[in-house]
Amino acid sequence: MGTHGFFPVERHAFLEEGICAGVALQQQARFLAMLVHMQFGSLGLIKVPTPGTPVQVSATHKLVEWVRFEVICGGSGRVWLGDSLLNTTLMKGIIKQFWPTGVGGGIVDFIELRGTDIDLYNFWIDAGTANEGLIVPFALP
């Protein structure tokens, strides 16, 4: 992924799926207008204590309209976001693989999802290095 700022949202899945840039900009403008009415929160850094043992993002159902999964600066290992079948050895259930920024910082890798009824309960995180993970901010309607 490229260089990204928290806002404005610069890159989305719909751009990678080939929808023209004009439509993408219109969708981005509508989304930014919606931000005024959203309540923001964060689950903070969700750490994986034992590599190879995925951690559930939320132990209870939590519906959001926007969520960002972001690796922390200074990480030394890869981190994976997946579903309940996440297995990094077999490469199953992976939604996204995040690359470390290293000690000197670098470009922070992230993915943003938006829509109605995104349930954080359905996401899992695994890491190649103990106590690394993802920062998870979100927005409620």
Give the domain CATH number at 128: 2.60.120.770
- List the domain range (segments joined by +) for residue 129: 38-140
Tell me whether residue 107 is in a domain.
yes
Tens digit of pLDDT for each residue in 21-65? 555 566 666 666 666 678 899 999 999 999 999 999 999 999 999
Asked if the structure places residue 120 within a domain, the reply is yes
Where is average pLDDT lowest: 36-45, 76-85, 117-126, 128-137? 36-45
Looking at residue 121, what is its pLDDT? 98
* 28 occurs within a structural domain: no
pLDDT at 86: 98
Q: Is the pLDDT of residue 94 over 70?
A: yes
Q: Note whether residue 95 is domain-resident.
A: yes
User: How many degrees, rounded to 5, is the angle at CA 83 between CA 125 and CA 72?
Assistant: 25
Residue at 71 is within a domain: yes
Task: Indicate whether 5 pLDDT > 70.
Answer: no
| Domains held by the chain: number | 1
4 within a domain of the structure (yes/no) = no
Query: In this predicted structure, what is the pLDDT of residue 106?
Result: 75
* 83 vs 30, residue with greater confidence: 83
Q: Per-residue pLDDT tens for 20-30?
A: 455 556 666 66
User: Residue 1: pLDDT above 70?
Assistant: no
Question: Cα–Cα–Cα angle for 12, 78, 127, nearest 5°?
Answer: 105
Residue 33 lies in a domain: no
Q: What is the pLDDT of residue 141?
A: 76
In a domain, 124, yes or no: yes
